[in-house]
Amino acid sequence: MILSYEPKDLPVARVHEILLGTVAPRPIAWASTVDKEGRVNLAPFSFFNVFGSNPPILVFSPNRRVRDNTSKHTLENIELTRECVINIVNYELCGQMVLSSAEYDEGVNEFIKAGLSMEPSLKVKAPRILEAPAQYECIVRDIIHTGDGGGAANLIICEVVHMHVNDHIFNEEGKIDPVKVDNVARMGGIWYSRAEKGLFQMPNPKGRSNIGFDGMPEFIIHSKFLNGWDISAMAGLPSLPTSEEVNQYKSEASALALINQYSGDQLISATHEKAKILIREGHPQEALVLLLAIGV
């Protein structure tokens, strides 16, 4: 049975859900911009694609929010500066990308919140993400507003004026290897698609606060065993565990087993590897409590 609708007869949120669930997978434009004071903003948008190569044209849309019909900082910044950087998202950076999508107050630097390196651009003011597999410096040729209601598109037509591509994504013939890039694309809801291995889920951080990379202890940020994905899962939690939670965990069997069995570098390795397992099993809160309880 085919269900047929006229969009005007459905709530905007339902139209949004149907479109995003079926027009997928969609690549993600991780757009960095600056405001009139030079403050940096970084946000991902899955209404995005390439539309030409001569000149090179990328188009993305920071839509008006469906729930309250407000505009996004990215659009406001671009309307003022007429430039941006579009960074490409791969699986390795996906956790940090999701963390940067949380709705922070104006002026909060999402690069810092997501633990990303700000690399100066050559032709635009906005910085680029050093870790991204590709970064495109753009000037904005046009902005097309399709409406003034919640969910309305704002098509940002960008001309690429400088390209930065990490050499590790090329094969021996000098061609870009899709497996090495390992692009991430957006599906509907909390579903994503990975170029190498298919579907996976990521939590939606919108509407809640988080610790951020800048609120995490230094020994976790600089762990040799945890990657950006792992740290993002913990940094996306609403708050750090309380001292009471940490002290209680020190006496639990899993913590005591590590302390009694290992010491020095072996204790660090075993603790961080245990935390990684907990994160991959969907328990970032317990992983963070463990790391703080052992303190290495």
What SS3 string covers 106-135?
CCCCHHHHCCCCEECCCCCCCCEECCCCEE
Structure tokens at 134: 């590709």
Q: Give yes or no for residue 66 having a pLDDT over 80.
A: no
Residue 84's closest CA among 133, 145, 26, 29?
29
What's the mean pLDDT when you consider all of the chain?
92
Q: Give yes or no for residue 206 having a pLDDT over 80.
A: no
Q: Give yes or no for residue 76 having a pLDDT over 80.
A: yes
Domains of the chain with bracketed CATH = 7-201 (2.30.110.10), 213-294 (no CATH)
Q: Give yes or no for residue 196 having a pLDDT over 80.
A: no
Please give the Cα distance from 227 to 282 (Å, whole number).
16
Q: Give yes or no for residue 175 having a pLDDT over 70.
A: yes
Q: pLDDT band for 216, please (50, 70, 90 cuts).
A: very high
In the predicted model, what is the mean pLDDT of residues 187-198? 87
| Cβ pair 216, 234 in contact under 8 A | yes
Q: What is the DSSP letter of 186?
A: E
- Per-residue model confidence (pLDDT) at position 186: 93
**Which stretches of 69-181 are DSSP H helices?**
73-81, 94-100, 110-113, 178-181
| Cβ pair 225, 276 in contact under 8 A | yes
- Per-residue model confidence (pLDDT) at position 246: 93
In the predicted model, what is the mean pLDDT of residues 178-202? 89
In the predicted model, what is the mean pLDDT of residues 215-219? 94
Note the pTM of the prediction, 2 decimals. Answer: 0.87
With vertex at residue 79, the alpha carbon angle to CA 78 and CA 84, rounded to the nearest 5 degrees, is 15
Name the CA dihedral angle for 259, 262, 266, 272, rounded to a multiple of 10 degrees. Answer: -30
- Per-residue model confidence (pLDDT) at position 201: 86
Q: pLDDT band for 161, please (50, 70, 90 cuts).
A: very high
Residues 223-256: tens digit of each pLDDT? 999 999 899 999 999 999 999 999 998 888 878 8
Q: Give yes or no for residue 208 having a pLDDT over 80.
A: no
Please give the Cα distance from 79 to 140 (Å, whole number).
9
Cα 17 to chain centroid, rounded: 20
Structure tokens at 107: 């002026």
